[in-house]
Amino acid sequence: MSNQLMPSPLAIALEMSEARYWGKLYRRNALLSSYHTQVAGAFVGATPELDVLAMNRVIGLGMTSPVTNLDIENIIAFYKQLGVRRFFVQLSPEERARDLPNRLEKNGFRLYNRWAKLLRPADLPLTPRAANGLRLVEVDSTKADVFGQIILFSFDWEDTRVADWFAGAVGQPGYRHYLVYKNHVAIAAGALHIDGAYSSLAIAGTLPDYRGLGAQSLLIQARLAAARAAGSHYTFVETAEDRLDRPVPSYRNMIKAGFELAYLRDNWIFEFE
């Protein structure tokens, strides 16, 4: 882990690229209203009606600008005004080496868990997977509803407005979206976001009844190929931390696909009473 005073250019690029692709999902006029702002150069996003931490979080705090106590207070005030029940701030290792964790703790935050940031150079060879009767198709906004429904049911969210929320990114600049079909049934979905030298394997999921058929492997390889063709130097992805007591299949799938752990991010949670 780095102890330098400023975050490394690679860490800054990865965090800011994630903030850009994630921020394109936030729309006030969607069925599921969502809001975002910027504080000290960080992305601050909220979905007040949905208590899902991935959708109520701060990305990139301290990466491009110094963070003052007023900045922390403004972040808390943003979520409080919207009526969010809880949210978290994600810190890269380089921010952990400074005093920001201590200041978060003094303002009522506590360490919640960690997420992994995984990275893969674009020039690594691809490993084509047998289709096994599956068919992958890149889709446009005419299939946005199908994409959103698969993401909704893949993650077992109860609020059906989540489908519309994720469907809203289909067709947006930088995004590419894919569906996997078995016969004529769409069974899996995945998104790629291309951001210059950095591409991200964004949200992806497979319907429960069709898991284990290789749909996600097909999606990973197709998106890696598209990122390389677009000129990206690196492709990255986020998962939960893989631990002996809590293994994470998506993390292990990415390792098999040639990704390596770039770093772990600490998630500092704030809960309103």
Domains, in order of start, for the chain: 9-116+265-271 (3.40.630), 134-232 (3.40.630.30)
Interatomic CA distance for residues 73 and 33, integer angstroms = 23
**Tokens (6 digits) for 78:** 């943003």
Coil vs helix vs strand at 125: coil
The phi and psi torsions of 20 (rounded to 5 degrees) equal -70, -45
Distance CA 76, CA 78 (A): 5
Q: Are strands 175-182 and 134-139 parallel, antiparallel or unpaired?
A: antiparallel
List the chain pLDDT tens, one digit each, 273 residues: 333 345 688 999 999 999 999 999 998 878 999 999 999 999 999 999 999 999 999 999 999 888 999 999 999 999 999 999 999 999 988 776 578 999 999 999 999 999 999 999 988 998 877 678 899 999 999 999 999 999 999 998 889 999 999 999 999 999 999 999 999 999 999 999 999 999 999 999 999 999 989 999 999 999 999 999 999 999 999 999 999 999 998 899 899 999 999 999 999 999 998
CB of 143 within 8 A of CB of 151?
no
The reported pLDDT for the residue numbered 96 is 62
Mean pLDDT taken over the chain? 92
Interval 3-62: pLDDT, tens: 334 568 899 999 999 999 999 999 887 899 999 999 999 999 999 999 999 999 999 999
As to burial, measured by CB atoms within 10 angstroms (0-12 exposed, 13-18 middle, 19+ buried), residue 253 is middle
pTM of the model: 0.92
What are the distances in angstroms from CA 98 to CA 12, 15, 94, 134?
A: 16, 17, 7, 48
Separation of CA 172 from chain center:
16
Maximum alpha-carbon separation in the chain:
56
